[in-house]
A and B are shown apart, each in its own frame.
Chain A
Amino acid sequence: GESVGLHLPTLSVQEGDNSIINCAYSNSASDYFIWYKQESGKGPQFIIDIRSNMDKRQGQRVTVLLNKTVKHLSLQIAATQPGDSAVYFCAENTPFPTDKLIFGTGTRLQVFP
């Protein structure tokens, strides 16, 4: 898939630096959150998830932080590489009235040398 939109928020970082991508979610009852990465010409790819009973979860070079007080989710990428250039978007699962995954619009990450 190509870009989600022409006017996505863009984060530009230098190769090797850490990146932080933020997401504000809408429903305080949401119990599960996912970060996806979408590279140009491809579909979204699962990166990492976190349940609402956790504040932090780490993967390989990625960390997701959840702040339920302010309904905020962030994705931290350590030592950002050119291959990390993509659109990143979060999704929240709202359990009521039915389980439903709601996606954000995304942030474009550009990595320059």
Chain B
Amino acid sequence: ETGVTQTPRHLVMGMTNKKSLKCEQHLGHNAMYWYKQSAKKPLELMFVYNFKEQTENNSVPSRFSPECPNSSHLFLHLHTLQPEDSALYLCASSQESREYEQYFGPGTRLTVT
């Protein structure tokens, strides 16, 4: 499998649930990113990891908790979300964190009920 993959592709969860989004990149990149894409809004950067270390947290609420066990895998743990958190969550990777030719996964469409 090539590129950046994300699972699940669709997720519906209640506000009291705990779920996790998974991202895997098969490109040998060292940097990985989480973005949020909401209707009528530009793409919002959430977190940046470079060589498994978090280098940026863009003022994201603590109900979103990222985890990067190695350079190929990135998780986003979700708990006690709000309906306004419903969005498309995109994962991306790049060779290094300062390189902006990022490769995106297909995203997880999250609906919080």
Contacts and interface: CB of A to CB of B under 8 A. Distances in A.
A93 B90 contact: no
Contacts of A44: 43, 90, 104
Contacts of A72: none
Interface stretch (B13-21, B59-67, B94-102): B94-102
B100 A91 contact: yes
A2 interface: yes
Given A41-B106, A43-B107, A44-B90, A34 B100 contact: yes
Contact of B101 (A49, A89, A104): A49
A7 interface: yes
Interface residues of A, number: 27
Interface in A94-113: 99-106
A83 interface: no
Interface string B66-108: 0000000000000000000000101010000010111111110
Interface residues of B, number: 22
B101 A43 contact: no
A48 B41 CA distance: 22
Contacts of B104: 43-45
Interface of B: 4, 37, 39-45, 88, 90, 92, 98, 100-107, 109
The 4 nearest A-B residue pairs measured at CB? A43-B104, A5-B40, A103-B43, A103-B42
Interface of A: 1-7, 32, 34, 41-46, 49, 89, 91, 93, 99-106
